[in-house]
A and B are shown apart, each in its own frame.
Chain A
């Protein structure tokens, strides 16, 4: 029987209460949201916090998805099912629906959260890659107020983030720029499994020319985005350009051989999934109304 090591349970009533609890309890405390990553680690005794601060009652404060013209703001307690079902979000960033359809399984998606996914900081986690591709910023709240950290600085290594002991990730912000779209492509072995590899793409076009492209990869040993400008920026979209970008993604990847596949196979996937995601994202950008859809 897998049961976590003993700990004390605290239930937070608000963001301010959470911060007060975290300040009092110090670095032996962990925040639990959906719990679908942290509790399995606690059951395996890979995580042994002395205090667990349950923030699920903060849904009213942090469970929102707000889609505005120039910015999408998502509260840290928005659950996977919320992100999957949000039509306004899918219209602006279809990459969320692509990714969420394939994260874990429908029952798990009822509980896992955006904030929990980012803070767990598992290198095989999908939403981190989505946030990287969309150039997101993380709002971290402490007793002294908010600070905004770009995705590039949020993760400081596997399972490590920029969130301090007495701080809480409260919101993730996504800039909306006109003329763009996005897509996520992933291969996993079966329902509920972690990805073998995945690619997240955001691309912007102006007058039939690619003006910017961001590519991020999941589970292949790359943090942050892969520079594909050379293959795409300033060019019209074409299979040749996509293939060149895919080759750059493949070359940038540094996967390990494990039960999910060989390093060679994962390198191949990094390239091929990037090509497919680019194809989809560009098609979406070209078929949406250029002035109203980013």
Chain B
């Protein structure tokens, strides 16, 4: 079957098997390997991307179901060489060690800050509660997202906006 969707602002059309999962479509068909593929059982959350501005575990959505929708992946956080404040926060606060969970954590973190710009530690922990990190014990991830919150507005949600995330 043919599927058309917008990925990081660019419309893509590909021939796929209907059973293709969104995570594999992004990684294998489009070569966007920033989105990771982990447990395959919707538990670990390394595969979180946005579909129509809602975070989803992309191992649990068919690429066909994303047809006609707007997908945003971790590759879209950085704009014109400027990191999103969440990415900057992970650098500043040592939010990653092995990096496997990082793309999912950052996509959820960005979504949280877009909807709740000043979250408490508890709210951050709740937001990432469906995602697993085996390195950090979560403390530095929470700290990284909090750091980003202190930087004010992050990356724009839509592609029509020109001002990218500018960590001050």
Contact = CB atoms under 8 A, between A and B. Distances in A.
Nearest to B20: A3
Interface in B32-48: 40-43, 45, 48
Contacts of A35: 60-62, 65
Nearest to A8: B18
Nearest to B104: A107
B42 A108 contact: yes
A110 B18 contact: no
A259 interface: no
B64 A54 contact: yes
Given A4-B19, A6-B19, A192-B129, A40 B65 contact: no
A110 B45 CA distance: 13
B14 to A, nearest CB: 14
Contacts of A36: 42, 57, 60
Given A2-B40, A6-B17, A107 B67 contact: no
B42 to A, nearest CB: 6
B54 A11 contact: no
A54 B54 CA distance: 18
Contacts of A106: 55, 108, 126-127, 129-130
Query: How extensive is the interface on chain B, given as a class?
Result: 20 to 34
B111 to A, nearest CB: 9
A39 B20 CA distance: 11
Contacts of B45: 105, 107
B1 interface: yes
B18 A191 contact: no
Interface in A121-147: none
A107 B61 contact: no
B131 interface: yes
B21 interface: yes
Residue in A9, A39, A111 whose Cβ sees the most chain B Cβ within 10 Å: A9
Residue among A5, A6, A32, A39 with most chain B CB within 10 A: A39
A110 B65 contact: no
A111 B40 contact: no
Contacts of B21: 3, 39
Contact of B131 (A1, A8, A107): A107
Contact of B130 (A9, A40, A54, A107): A107
B56 interface: yes
Q: Pick from A9, A11, A32, A107 the residue with the most CB of B within 10 Å.
A: A107
A56 B65 contact: yes
Nearest to B67: A11
A104 interface: yes
Contacts of B65: 32, 35, 54, 56
A191 B129 contact: yes
Interface in A56-83: 56
Contact of A110 (B20, B41, B55): B55
18 contacts: A1-B40, A5-B19, A6-B19, A9-B62, A35-B60, A39-B61, A40-B41, A54-B62, A104-B130, A105-B129, A107-B45, A107-B55, A107-B108, A110-B54, A110-B56, A111-B60, A191-B129, A191-B130
Interface of B: 1, 17-21, 24, 40-43, 45, 48, 54-57, 60-62, 64-65, 67, 108, 126-127, 129-131
The 6 closest A-B pairs by CB, nearest first: A105-B130, A9-B18, A191-B129, A4-B19, A110-B54, A2-B40
